[in-house]
Amino acid sequence: MEKVVIIGAGPAGISAALYTVRGNMDPLVIHTGIGALEKAENIENYYGLERPLSGQELFDTGIAQAKALGVRILEAQVLGISGFDTFTVKTTAGDIETESVILATGGKRAAPAIPGIREYEGRGVSYCAVCDAFFYRGREVAVLGNSDFALHEAEELKNVTPSVTIYTNGEKPEFSREHSIAVNTMRIQSIEGEQTVSGLRMETDVSVQEEGEQKVSFYPADGIFVALGTAGSTEIARQMGAELTEKGNIKVNENMETTIPGLFAAGDCTGGLLQIAKAVYEGSVAGIHAGKYVRRRNAGKS
């Protein structure tokens, strides 16, 4: 079993890794790539830079620094985390057992630009299959996404209803394994309903329509679960039952610990100043206190 698993390899994740490895915790970092740093063309407002660095350069330097200290790094997509006293991190590379977890994959995502999606949040639109699947047992549900995260959410929903369809919104499916879930690759025109969601209005390919055929199609759905890209820190925390702030960020104390013992968070996912310096600070705090948590836990067993 791992002692500390860190999800994310940006400034917060790598900072956490540096402090946990120096604390003899032998951390494992799991990531899927550069993330928000990719958008930074020139970084000048950070200590120790003789010249501006691109986000990619800073990311690569951080990874190299961590590896030089012996940090293990796994490129895989995290699909979800279960457990309480200890945790099971579900990834595309297999399940990983760990005593503690640090979430450091950046801030919460904006909702996709689909008309109706924000209007029906909490009235049929959900961002957490584990949280809300129970309310849709035996009903027609849709999952928005085209990756393994969407497939994972669809399979969670299959436990309560046989009627599950993944809608990729025109994107090519990028599932890493075979599955039996229905997939619709048409573009979504809007989400419709009255008091609650009733379904998705789809665009059709005009080039293959018969003369007089409708240009849009309506697909009924009682619930729509958004699972775009990979599972972010906020999505994972919500699935696990960790408390969020009013602004939708992960709620942490001064030790960067969430409301679930052993689960820590750092960086943009906790809100506040969205800067590298803040992410590095929070990563170091999370790394130090994750190590203390593991040592206290194991001391109590001896």
Give the pLDDT of the chain (302 residues) as one tens digit per residue: 999 999 999 999 999 999 999 999 999 999 998 877 877 778 888 888 889 889 899 999 999 999 999 999 999 999 999 998 899 999 999 999 999 999 999 876 556 789 999 899 888 998 888 778 888 999 999 999 998 889 989 999 999 999 999 999 999 999 988 999 999 999 999 999 999 999 999 987 544 445 555 555 899 999 999 988 777 888 899 889 899 998 889 999 999 999 999 999 999 999 988 899 999 999 999 999 999 999 999 986 75
The model's pTM is 0.80
Task: Give, as one character, the DSSP assignment of residue 93.
Answer: T
Give pLDDT, residue 302. 57
Whole-number Å distance between alpha carbons of 83 and 103: 15
DSSP states along 106-154: -SPPPPPS-TTTTTTBTTTEES-HHHHGGGGTTS-EEEE-SSHHHHHHH
Give pLDDT, residue 215. 56
Place of tokens 């599950």: 164
Give pLDDT, residue 296. 95
Give pLDDT, residue 263. 97
- For 237, the enclosing helix (H) or strand (E) is helix 233-240
Whole-number Å distance between alpha carbons of 4 and 67: 16
Give pLDDT, residue 44. 85
Give pLDDT, residue 212. 54
Give pLDDT, residue 208. 44
Whole-number Å distance between alpha carbons of 207 and 288: 59
- For 253, the enclosing helix (H) or strand (E) is none
DSSP states along 194-231: SSSEEEEEEE--GGGPPTT--SEEEEE-SEEEE--SS-
Report which residue type is found at 61.
T
